[in-house]
């Protein structure tokens, strides 16, 4: 099944889509820069801004932290 990602929300799938290609380890600022380069909507940027200022070593860590700060 080929599901389309709604690129206007801040779902985990949308966040993954917009940070694709970031090099790990990376900072929160690098995640935000990558999402901005890829044209992330405001909702995704705001979701990434809620992440803690730590070094992210892989996508799993980003998504774990994202799940903790998402409403």
Q: Is residue 6 part of a domain?
A: no
Q: For residue 10, with 0-12 CB atoms within 10 Å meaning exposed, 13-18 middle and 19 or more buried, which class applies?
A: buried
Q: Is residue 20 part of a domain?
A: yes
13: which 2 tokens? 């799938």
pTM: 0.87
Angle value at C-alpha 55, between 17 and 14, nearest 5 degrees: 15
Q: Is residue 68 a contact partner of residue 40, using CB atoms and an 8 Å limit?
A: no
pLDDT digits (tens, 9 = 90+) for 28-49: 999 999 999 999 999 999 999 9
At 26, give phi and psi (nearest 5°): -145, 165
Q: Is residue 23 part of a domain?
A: yes
**Residues of the domain holding 31:** 12-69
Q: Is residue 3 part of a domain?
A: no
**Total structural domains within the chain:** 1
pLDDT band at 4 (very low <50, low <70, confident <90, very high): very low
Q: Is residue 48 part of a domain?
A: yes
């Amino acid at each position: 099944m080929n599901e389309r990602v709604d690129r206007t929300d801040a779902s985990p799938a949308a966040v993954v889509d917009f940070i694709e290609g970031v090099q790990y380890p990376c900072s929160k600022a690098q995640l935000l820069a990558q999402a901005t380069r890829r044209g992330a909507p405001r909702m995704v940027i705001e979701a990434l801004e809620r992440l803690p200022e730590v070094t992210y070593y892989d996508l799993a860590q980003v998504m774990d932290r994202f799940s903790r700060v998402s409403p």
